[in-house]
């Protein structure tokens, strides 16, 4: 080498050498050429080369350096794996390519762990991370703990914490082992909105196999944070539960956790609310301020806290907008489209609000300008549906026309893309979404008629990328056409049913309630008792967790002489007595001079309670277009 350097030589590389070498060694194995060892699994034999096994697996490298019987006989039987998985591992050793499938990945991971093949373990973990979701996060956590994968464990815990409500509602969660239940209930970072849901899960899990699990109930019971459970629920459901009544240990724990004395509290080991506790918030954006005689477009963002019945003011947007759309996705709030004030021109702007930092960021504009449209989260994306867009007519005048177009926003790469359009134009759109379907619950066609008025709701199938229409018709017509100014209606999704509440005539308070059962493909009308509520034809509303509908305040013509307006506080409508009666509760008015109005937009989401303190920060909007 020294001589070569003196002569000015250099080292050259054949970049195909490694690939071609593997190909030739693999070919030799296929021809049983120079093979010197045999692996056996489940009755099948594999002829291989010792040097290849030793190079790829520290397990075999160690084996071949000992005087064990396998080394002497030239044969090793691997009873801990199947022949199919062993074949895949050998294919990887001889080619560098690994085929991972859902039905074999766990056994592949186990075998790679046994053979100390770190690279294969990492490939399996990466595959599991890509498949991780609510349906398998508990199983993934168990695998991560067995095979000591910090990355998979962290990701699984994050998925469980953010989706604990959906996780404990799954039927298979009732079959998880004792240690998994213990880990779940003890996790201080669970982002749970209602602690009582965890108590309900614990009771259901215990009763799933009562003889085997009953003795564990008192210990698991001590992980429930009773400081965060409403007293009414505690008295009506917890203390009356048979498992609790029959356990002296449970009763003592309740007494200690609900004590009001500071001395008792300090000595009882009382558990505080979970650090990850979620607070439900209602976000209201845009619209027109209500200063008497001086209405003006607003940039303000307001937040209503249903549990506290209080409002707070958040970081303002840097442009005023009305008739915009709003939606929550992955813990952030997106405001899109609408009409800019005071220009009254339709826009395609999209801004993202961070509830953690109480700040705005401009993201990529929609492909089309839209107002009076629906912005719906579904399957991890946002869908902008229909609405009104601007069009230039002959003579140069600009007007608004309803559209059929729909576009989807991918948050990962900040892009908007068109998807199949609706069958007819639709504005003033309202919609609800399941995991893979979007149902239009209201929308005006070109004649101003509700496209969902007869109950045959148009829907979009996210998986098949196709629009369809329900075949079943509803018992009560929901026409709410252009002339139905007194009729009002709200719709929301709960328990896999699409619910419709409506006031047919606000003068007589005549109302209706009906719902569509998605699984049964069936409509049902329910006779309920209606309170005397103000529910104008253009109602601003959003469902909230406790089974209620939050109705923002809206204008109501009070005087026929001067057409002056009276502004009412919001309502909280709650269906009671097994959906047979409707209760109305007034809420506080709002903040500053701004009141929620039909020209505003509203959505609700859950955020970690600890982030509420960020709302007090004095911050401004950041304009960063991705």
Average pLDDT over residues 546-575: 54
Residue 484 clears pLDDT 60, i.e. is over it = no
Contacts of residue 122, defined as CB under 8 A and 6 or more positions apart, other chains included, come to none
User: pLDDT at position 88, please?
Assistant: 95
| 21 in any annotated domain | yes
Does 111 share its domain with 182? Answer: no
Report in angstroms the alpha-carbon separations of 312 from 33, 296, 416, 567, 614: 77, 20, 32, 19, 11
Does 192 share its domain with 246? Answer: yes
Q: Which residue has the tokens 């504005």?
A: 427
Does 436 share its domain with 562? Answer: yes
8 A C-beta contact, residue 108 and residue 85:
yes
CATH number at residue 373: 2.120.10.80
Domain interval for residue 34: 16-131
Q: Could you tell me which residue, 310 or 245, shows the higher pLDDT?
A: 245
CATH number at residue 113: 3.30.710.10
Per-residue pLDDT tens over the stretch 125-148: 999 999 999 899 999 999 999 999
State whether the Cα torsion 132-136-138-141 is positive or negative: negative
Per-residue pLDDT tens over the stretch 405-446: 999 999 989 999 999 999 999 999 999 999 899 999 999 998
| Average pLDDT across the chain, whole number | 83
Average pLDDT over residues 547-572: 53
Q: Which of 74, 103, 131 is the last residue of a domain?
A: 131
CATH number at residue 248: 1.25.40.420
Does 502 share its domain with 587? Answer: yes
Average pLDDT over residues 537-562: 59
Does 263 share its domain with 282? Answer: no
**Total number of domains in the chain:** 3
Does 125 share its domain with 174? Answer: no
| 159 in any annotated domain | no
User: pLDDT at position 397, please?
Assistant: 67
Categorise residue 172: left if φ over 0, alpha if ψ from -120 to 50, beta otherwise.
Answer: alpha
Average pLDDT over residues 532-560: 59
Poorest-pLDDT segment among 99-108, 318-327, 454-463, 548-557: 548-557
Distance CA 48, CA 516 (A): 63
Distance CA 495, CA 614 (A): 33
Does 308 share its domain with 261? Answer: no
Q: Which of 267, 298, 323 is the last residue of a domain?
A: 267
Distance CA 626, CA 623 (A): 10
User: pLDDT at position 311, please?
Assistant: 79
* Bridge partner list, 377: 382
Residue 487 binned pLDDT confidence (cut-offs 50, 70, 90): low
Contacts of residue 577, defined as CB under 8 A and 6 or more positions apart, other chains included, come to none
Does 284 share its domain with 204? Answer: no
Does 576 share its domain with 501? Answer: yes
Average pLDDT over residues 104-113: 95
Q: What backbone phi and psi angles, to 5 degrees, belong to 503?
A: -105, 115
Average pLDDT over residues 595-620: 67
User: pLDDT at position 511, please?
Assistant: 74
Distance CA 377, CA 435 (A): 9
Poorest-pLDDT segment among 176-180, 531-535, 540-544: 531-535
| 621 in any annotated domain | no
Contacts of residue 29, defined as CB under 8 A and 6 or more positions apart, other chains included, come to 35, 47, 48, 49, 52, 94
Residue 558 binned pLDDT confidence (cut-offs 50, 70, 90): very low
Categorise residue 74: left if φ over 0, alpha if ψ from -120 to 50, beta otherwise.
Answer: left
């Amino acid at each position: 080498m020294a001589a070569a350097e003196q002569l000015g030589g250099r080292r050259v590389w054949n970049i195909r050498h490694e690939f071609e070498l593997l190909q030739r060694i693999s070919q030799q194995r296929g021809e049983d050429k120079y093979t010197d060892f045999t692996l056996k699994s489940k009755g099948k034999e594999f002829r291989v080369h010792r040097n290849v096994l030793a190079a790829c697996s520290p397990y075999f490298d160690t084996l071949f350096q000992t005087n064990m019987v396998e080394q002497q006989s030239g044969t090793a039987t691997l009873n801990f794996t199947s022949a199919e998985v062993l074949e895949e591992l050998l294919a990887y050793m001889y080619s560098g390519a690994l085929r991972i499938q859902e039905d074999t990945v766990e056994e592949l991971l186990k075998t790679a762990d046994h053979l100390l093949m770190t690279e294969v373990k990492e490939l399996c973990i990466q595959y599991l991370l890509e498949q991780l979701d609510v349906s398998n996060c508990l199983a993934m956590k168990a695998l991560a703990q067995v095979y000591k994968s910090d990355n998979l464990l962290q990701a699984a815990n994050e998925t469980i914490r953010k989706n604990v409500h959906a996780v404990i509602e799954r039927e298979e969660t009732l079959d998880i082992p004792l240690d998994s239940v213990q880990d779940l209930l003890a996790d201080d970072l669970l982002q749970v909105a209602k602690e009582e849901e965890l108590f309900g899960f614990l009771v259901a899990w215990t009763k799933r196999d009562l003889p085997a699990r009953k003795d564990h109930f008192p210990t698991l019971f001590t992980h429930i944070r009773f400081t965060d459970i409403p007293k009414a629920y505690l008295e009506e459901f917890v203390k009356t539960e048979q498992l609790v009544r029959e356990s002296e240990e449970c009763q003592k724990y309740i007494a200690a956790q609900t004590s009001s004395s500071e001395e008792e509290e300090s000595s009882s080991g009382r558990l505080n609310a979970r650090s990850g506790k979620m607070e439900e918030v209602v976000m209201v954006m845009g619209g027109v301020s209500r200063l008497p005689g001086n209405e003006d477009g607003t940039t303000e963002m307001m937040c209503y806290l249903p549990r506290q019945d209080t409002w707070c003011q958040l970081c303002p947007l840097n442009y005023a907008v009305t008739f915009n759309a709003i939606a929550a996705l992955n813990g952030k709030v997106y405001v899109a489209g609408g009409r800019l004030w005071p220009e009254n021109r339709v826009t395609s702007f999209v801004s993202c609000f961070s509830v953690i930092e109480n700040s705005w960021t401009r993201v990529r504009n929609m492909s089309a300008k839209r107002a009076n449209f629906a912005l719906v989260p579904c399957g991890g994306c946002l869908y902008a549906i229909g609405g009104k867009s601007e069009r230039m007519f002959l003579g140069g005048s600009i007007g608004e026309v309803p559209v059929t177009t729909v576009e989807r926003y991918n948050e990962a790469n900040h892009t908007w893309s068109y998807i199949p359009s609706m069958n007819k134009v639709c504005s003033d759109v309202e919609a609800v979404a399941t995991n893979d379907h979007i149902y239009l619950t209201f929308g005006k066609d070109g004649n101003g008629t509700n496209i969902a008025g007869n109950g045959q709701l148009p829907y979009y199938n996210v998986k098949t990328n196709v629009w369809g229409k329900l075949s079943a018709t509803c018992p009560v017509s929901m026409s709410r056409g252009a002339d139905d100014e007194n009729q009002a209606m709200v719709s929301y999704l709960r328990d896999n049913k699409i619910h419709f509440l409506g006031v047919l005539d606000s003068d007589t308070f005549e109302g209706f309630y009906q719902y569509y059962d998605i699984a049964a493909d069936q409509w049902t009308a329910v006779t309920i008792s209606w309170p005397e509520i103000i529910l104008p034809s253009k109602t601003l509303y959003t469902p909230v967790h406790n089974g209620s509908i939050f109705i923002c305040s809206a204008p109501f013509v009070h005087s026929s002489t001067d057409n002056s307006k009276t502004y009412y506080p919001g309502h909280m409508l709650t269906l009671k007595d097994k959906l047979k009666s409707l209760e109305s509760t007034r809420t506080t008015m709002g903040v500053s001079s701004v009141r929620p109005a039909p020209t505003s937009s509203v959505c609700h989401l859950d955020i970690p309670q600890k982030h509420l303190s960020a709302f007090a920060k004095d911050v401004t909007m950041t304009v960063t277009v991705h």
